[in-house]
Amino acid sequence: MVVPGKKNLIIIKFTLLFASSMTIMAGATIAPSLPQMSKVFAYIHNAELIIKLNVTLPALSIALLAPFAGLIIDSIGRKKLLIYSTILYVVSGTSGLYLGNIYWILAGRAMLGIAVAGIMTTSTTLIADYFEGRERRKFMGLQGGFMSFGGVVFLTVGGLLADIHWRLPFAIYGLAIFLLLLIALYIYEPGIEKEDKPLSIPPEVRSKLDLKNIALIYLIAFLGFIFFFMIPTQMPFVLEKLDNINNTMIGISISISMLVSGMVALNYSWVKNNFSFQNIYVFTFVFLGAGFIIICFVQNYMLYLLGLIVQGVGMGMLMPNSNYWIATLAPLKVRGRLISNLSTAVYLGQFLSPILIRPLSHNFGINNAFGLAGSSMLLIALLLVLLPFLSLRKTSGTK
């Protein structure tokens, strides 16, 4: 392994954080444009749902292709995939600037998802490769913070640009050109022996995996992002009903949620020192649920911001906790695959969010949909509290 100097290590860390910041909210960057896009393409059947898919369709591509990214990472290495994925990110992300047909725009969004699958899986795997122990835990918190701060910047700028023209937020994806240069110059392959690996996990490795907790992590990430992605896909339409609301204010509101998430994520190392992985998930769903219930019952912009701040606290713990726990459980030989499966869970939840929430918003209204989702998350938190006792009772009953 090539050990970088101190100066290069700082740049390497920044590059990995920069890459992470361009992934989790990649689909939501254009969220402030959604109401305007709905008007431009109002002649299309089910226009509102199709427009929302511009935010979530990248997530479907990620969910389907992230496992293959994991196989590629474990088989041929990290850096090449990261470079190719970043090039595709630039080309596909900016396609909405010049494509006129909504279905071609959707195709570009699908390609963006392929790019994000490679970038997110590779950057998280490299963090797990480069760092260990406490340093890894701190860096996972930093990663979660930068993911959120990236959302703050992209959504705020996206709102400002959307007030000029709905196409302009697509230009934000062009920032990845600078990421590409950093990857090419400073990212190096960790000293991991490359070998032809079978598609399935070898039995001797599988026998050492904590499959129950790995499955729990995937399930929590999946459910968490179904609910969380109501913010970029549903909140613009909630806020649109208020008087004197523009795209900039919509972008700022979602950005405040991400800012709070980032601040919490930066303190994840302290949180983990004091609480277990499972307890952190309990706090995650309590705050998410409470924030959503606030959104359900208020009709004022500032009170909506309060709800977004509260749920942002929960969101700030979700990804660092999931990433760090899976990295802790993942043996080196299958690390890429297990981390890529987490990406699949996260982005499948993102994609399915507007589809699963649509019956609730259609039948009960968008605000009440937030209330029902919030109640569901509080129930999940309760089940996580009871899980150790239920497991203990089941074990005792088998003796």
Mean pLDDT of 50-76: 76
**pTM (predicted TM-score):** 0.72
In this predicted structure, the answer to whether residue 137 has a pLDDT above a threshold of 90 is no
In this predicted structure, the answer to whether residue 339 has a pLDDT above a threshold of 70 is yes
261-316 pLDDT, tens digit per residue, is 888 888 888 888 888 888 999 999 999 999 999 999 998 889 999 999 999 999 98
Binning the chain into helix, strand and coil, the percentages to the nearest 5 are 85, 0, 15
Residue 206 has a pLDDT of 52
Please indicate whether residue 189 or residue 292 has the higher confidence score (pLDDT): 292
Please indicate whether residue 370 or residue 234 has the higher confidence score (pLDDT): 370
Mean pLDDT, the chain, integer: 82
Least confident of 46-50, 272-276, 364-368: 46-50
Q: Which helix (H) or strand (E) holds 320?
A: helix 301-329
Mean pLDDT of 60-78: 75
In this predicted structure, the answer to whether residue 198 has a pLDDT above a threshold of 50 is no
Mean pLDDT of 6-23: 83
In this predicted structure, the answer to whether residue 195 has a pLDDT above a threshold of 70 is no
* pLDDT tier, 74 (very low <50, low <70, confident <90, very high otherwise): low
Q: How far is CA 259 from the centre of its chain?
A: 14
Rounded Cα–Cα distance for residues 40 and 26 (Å): 22
Residue 332 has a pLDDT of 66
* Cβ-based neighbours of 222, under 8 Å, separated by 6 or more: 345, 346, 348, 349
Residue 88 has a pLDDT of 94
Please indicate whether residue 334 or residue 272 has the higher confidence score (pLDDT): 272
Please indicate whether residue 396 or residue 126 has the higher confidence score (pLDDT): 126
Residue 397 has a pLDDT of 40
* pLDDT tier, 25 (very low <50, low <70, confident <90, very high otherwise): low
143-152 pLDDT, tens digit per residue, is 877 877 777 7
CB-based contact 24:155 (threshold 8 Å): no
Residue 295 has a pLDDT of 93
Residue 280 has a pLDDT of 93
Rounded Cα–Cα distance for residues 235 and 301 (Å): 11
Highest mean pLDDT of the ranges 208-222, 231-245, 287-301:
287-301
Report all structural domains of the chain as residue ranges with CATH numbers, in order of start.
6-189+207-394 (1.20.1250.20)
Report the percentage of the chain scoring pLDDT > 70: 88
Highest mean pLDDT of the ranges 83-92, 184-193, 252-261:
83-92
Residue 154 has a pLDDT of 80
Q: How far is CA 160 from the centre of its chain?
A: 23
Least confident of 16-30, 221-235, 254-268, 296-310: 16-30
Nearest-10 Cα torsion for 299, 302, 303, 308: 110
In this predicted structure, the answer to whether residue 252 has a pLDDT above a threshold of 70 is yes
Please indicate whether residue 156 or residue 79 has the higher confidence score (pLDDT): 79
Residue 196 has a pLDDT of 45
Residue 78 has a pLDDT of 80
Residue 6 has a pLDDT of 57
Nearest to 248 by CA among 66, 44, 41, 35: 35
* pLDDT tier, 190 (very low <50, low <70, confident <90, very high otherwise): confident
Rounded Cα–Cα distance for residues 195 and 190 (Å): 14
Nearest to 157 by CA among 228, 224, 254: 254
In this predicted structure, the answer to whether residue 96 has a pLDDT above a threshold of 50 is yes
Q: How far is CA 208 from the centre of its chain?
A: 28
